[in-house]
Amino acid sequence: MNGFEQALVIILGSFLGLFLVVGIVLIVLVIKVVKSVKHITDKAETLVDKADNISDFMRHASVPWGIAKVLTTITDNFTNKAKKR
């Protein structure tokens, strides 16, 4: 090998090593981002479950309130008619 070929091998080897290091750093950063996204999605999932439980509670609690409102409206209608007479 002459001097040109040796210089080319050294340059290509250096770039290969540099790209290898950059690739490893990028893979580590991508793994960290994926872990943080997984953590965020787990938190969001627990919040959705809590919201679902709250909506179920409100749905079941609204039935007695709805019946009470209907009864109040009916009694108000009867008392208003009695007052008008």
Quote the pLDDT of residue 43: 94
Quote the pLDDT of residue 38: 96
- Measure Cα distances from 33 to 30, 67, 68, 83 in Å: 5, 51, 52, 71
What percentage of the chain has pLDDT greater than the value 70? 89
Q: Position of tokens 């008619």?
A: 81
- Measure Cα distances from 73 to 19, 49, 62, 63, 79 in Å: 76, 35, 16, 15, 10
Q: Position of tokens 């609690």?
A: 61
